[in-house]
Amino acid sequence: MRYLHGHGYETIAVHLGVPEATVRTRVQRGLMALRVRLKHCSH
């Protein structure tokens, strides 16, 4: 939702019913996992 639809953390938090900090953490973890996968695919 953050990058696909351009929603802010607060909007996503309200939609999911979780704290904004949780949304930020989940986005950061997701980006980290994506970086790791892309790094492994490039070799």
pTM confidence score = 0.80
Report the pLDDT value the prediction gives residue 16, as an integer from 0 to 100. Answer: 96
Report the pLDDT value the prediction gives residue 43, as an integer from 0 to 100. Answer: 67
What distance in Å separates the CA atoms of residue 14 and residue 39, rounded to the nearest whole number?
33
Q: Which residues contact 9 (CB under 8 A, 6 or more apart)?
A: 2, 20, 23, 24, 27
- Calculate the CA 14 to chain-centre distance: 15
Report the pLDDT value the prediction gives residue 20, as an integer from 0 to 100. Answer: 97
pLDDT digits (tens, 9 = 90+) for 14-35: 999 999 999 999 999 999 999 9
- Is the pLDDT at 12 greater than 70, yes or no? yes
